[in-house]
Amino acid sequence: MEYRIEHDSMGEMKVPADRYWGAQTQRSYENFRISTEKIPIEVIRAFGVLKKAAAIANFNLGKISEEKRDIICKVADEIVSGLHDDKQFPLAVWQTGSGTQSNMNVNEVIANRGNEIAGKKLLHPNDDVNKSQSSNDTFPTAMHIAAVAEIEDKLFPSMRTIIETFKRLERENEGIVKSGRTHLQDAVPIGFSQEISGWRNMIEVSFGQLLEAVEGLKSLALGGTAVGTGLNAPKGFAEEVAKQVSVITGKKFVTAENKYHALTSKDQLVFAHGALKALACNLMKIANDVRWLASGPRDGLGEIFIPENEPGSSIMPGKVNPTQCESMTMVCVQVIANDVAVGFGASQGNFELNVFMPVIIYNFLQSVRLLADGIASFNNNCVTGIKANKEKMRHNLYNSLMLVTALNPYIGYENAAKTAKLAYKENISLKDACVKLGFLTAEKFDEVFHPEEMIYQK
């Protein structure tokens, strides 16, 4: 491999000749050879957005030339487009907790690639690309930009799609009555469309919670520089750079009202990840409901059919498993676990800076990515193909002892309980038990006992 010599304030470093990064990136690359987790590419692309916004703001405020602005913007656009994803951003999550080295990684790539485009030594990574900025305000800004983009552009579409699927299933299953269940025991009847509506509304409520949480993430730390005072940033820079980020992304970002809070606290990410965790909890419940209802095909509940996507066993011929439900629930487990890392990392804001930012955003973005992809897979390969097993639903409904609840107004709770217990003990119908105990005549029982009507409030 060929190398070139780069230098920083600590001296010279050998850098691979085909890489645009410089000495500071190389030092981090060599000093933190820890595991395989890299700074998420979504964060790098968010850095591209903010470096472009900063260059425009610096030019508008008279701090850099038009030529420098244009070159920085050109390379930033290359980064945002993914042109340099594969080679230029090698740093580990497990680096400095401020993300300083990843900020410098982006600065060095923009400077060296920009100089290549310009054909001369035009840009310095600190003096030009990082002008009016500090790693301490750029990394949290990149975190927020990336979080907002991933939630709004990837997770929300998946959530909207599965909501529409549930709405369709509600319409298709209107009028089908089945046994409800509480505590994994038989309960009073419920419409299958009503049960599905509960699943739908879980996603809708989570969507609303995330909408609220995302608003806090649209507050940017940029302009606070090192400790929140804005040292070395020109007056109006914070507001101008937030404006430019909004123009570039098409999303309404604002400068943080209090930069001391923005640098040291990660509570907005904790709040937003709490909404992600709530979504994961709802999805866990939905996926478990689906696999319970589909259990069987002969010795389980068997009340719904789900798509058969692949063989389920290497030894049992013909076995098919609810694999999409299993995948969805594993995603949920990971997201719930990630919430611990996000919360604990956010608690480590000492004095003027949080120094757990890389691990916070790594886990946060993994959760968003997993949920977006997981919901899409669960919807496309399972939920869209749910079909009611009407015969099994009717059999289970009329075999349920909890239909006796319909008799409460006519024979009272205690007599209804005696009826259910006798029916269970002697394996007879509720009607036979009720008549045998002398609580109702057969004719009166038929008059008042209508399970399908029990799902409607009178």
Closest CA to 255 of 271, 244, 266, 270: 244
Q: Looking at this protein, which amino acid is placed at residue 421?
A: K
Q: Which of 7, 65, 81, 313 is catalytic?
A: 313
The residue to which tokens 């919430």 are assigned = 339
Helices (H) and strands (E) in the chain, counts: 17, 10
> First-to-last CA distance in the chain?
80
3-state per-residue secondary structure call for 317-339: CCCCCCHHHHHHHHHHHHHHHHH
Is the Cβ–Cβ distance between 324 and 330 less than 8 Å?
no
Backbone dihedral region for residue 191 (phi beyond 0: left; psi -120 to 50: alpha; all else: beta): beta
Sequence length of the chain is: 458
Q: Any catalytic annotation for residue 313?
A: yes
Q: How do beta strands 304-305 and 219-220 pair?
A: unpaired
Type of residue found at 454: M
Provide the token pair at 384.
């869209």
Encoded tokens for 413: 């709770």
Out of 9, 35, 183, 314, the active site residue is: 183
Is 183 noted as a catalytic residue in this protein? yes
Residue 178's DSSP bridge partners are 190
58 in Cβ contact with 241 (< 8 Å): no
Nearest to 198 by CA among 167, 156, 177: 167
Q: What is the DSSP letter of 402?
A: G
Give the separation between CA 55 and CA 228, rounded to whole angstroms: 20
345 and 273 Cβ atoms separated by less than 8 Å: no
- Which residues are the active-site residues? 183, 313
